[in-house]
Chain A
Amino acid sequence: TQLLEQSPQFLSIQEGENLTVYCNSSSVFSSLQWYRQEPGEGPVLLVTVVTGGEVKKLKRLTFQFGDARKDSSLHITAAQPGDTGLYLCAFNSHGSGNTGKLIFGQGTTLQVKP
């Protein structure tokens, strides 16, 4: 059972289109993170959302944390081929000693065609 469910798993769109990907759970989180991973590289942190209802913008990317802090969404406006990659949501799990190990969703693979 996945703690974080991401949808859709795959998305192929044309340049200029808008899209939204979702990260859902039945658990409440103190924060959620979004990463983007390109082929052959490690994930890169895009944003951390902390407060229920919070909205953060990063250029054409808009991130929202649900009011109940159980879900999050990533909206991309006017997608470009450079947005192609694997988008992952994650939360910090309290391991032994309050360590910050990350638990990831399965990811959404986005392909933006020119």
Chain B
Amino acid sequence: GAGVSQSPSNKVTEKGKDVELRCDPISGHTALYWYRQSLGQGLEFLIYFQGNSAPDKSGLPSDRFSAERTGGSVSTLTIQRTQQEDSAVYLCASSLGGALDQPQHFGDGTRLSIL
């Protein structure tokens, strides 16, 4: 399909392990966002990439969280030394540009469970 693709769809791991979540944005979309959705906190912004600009990391909850976007396309969100409170659905979105009027298209998310 032509939508935002995320993998894996589900991930179960033990506390303390590192995890990598992948996002393939819609082809041609220069802006890419990561959000986290949990029962207690709702849907929260994590990080934003736009072209070659420095990413907006203002939503990352701790230094255990990092993200990369290689070649202006695929992005990977990495969580090191996972904790139980990291359990959530991690959603990726992309848009044609970073302007406020560009609609964001979301993937179906990765459901992360920390045992």
Flag whether B88 is at the interface (Cβ < 8 A).
Answer: no
Is B106 a contact partner of A95 (Cβ separation < 8 A)?
A: no
Residue-by-residue, is A88-102 near B (CB-CB < 8 Å gives 1, otherwise 0)? 101011111111111
Interface residues in A21-72 (C-beta closer than 8 Å to B): 30-31, 40-45, 48
Q: In the assembled complex, which residues on chain A have CB atoms less than 8 Å from the CB atom of B28? A: none
Please classify how large the interface on chain A is, using the bins under 10, 10 to 19, 20 to 34, 35 or more. Answer: 20 to 34
Number of A-B contacts (CB under 8 A): 70
Please classify how large the interface on chain B is, using the bins under 10, 10 to 19, 20 to 34, 35 or more. Answer: 20 to 34
Q: Which of A93, A100, A107 has the most CB of B within 10 A?
A: A100
Residue of B nearest to A30 (CB): B100
Q: In the assembled complex, which residues on chain A have CB atoms less than 8 Å from the CB atom of B50? A: 97, 99
Flag whether B95 is at the interface (Cβ < 8 A).
Answer: yes
Is A45 a contact partner of B98 (Cβ separation < 8 A)?
A: no
Q: How far is the CB of B61 from chain A (nearest CB, A)?
A: 15
With A42-B107, A100-B95: A95-B56 Cβ-Cβ less than 8 Å:
yes
Measured in the bound complex, the distance between the Cα atoms of B4 and A97 in whole Å is: 24
Interfacial residues, chain B to chain A (CB-CB below 8 A): 4, 31, 33, 35, 42-45, 48, 50, 53, 56, 58-59, 91, 93, 95, 98-109
Can you list 28 A-B pairs, Cβ within 8 angstroms, ordered by A? A40-B108, A41-B109, A42-B91, A42-B93, A42-B108, A43-B106, A44-B106, A48-B101, A93-B45, A94-B100, A95-B58, A96-B58, A97-B50, A97-B53, A97-B98, A98-B99, A99-B48, A99-B56, A100-B98, A100-B104, A101-B33, A101-B48, A102-B33, A102-B43, A102-B45, A104-B44, A105-B42, A106-B42
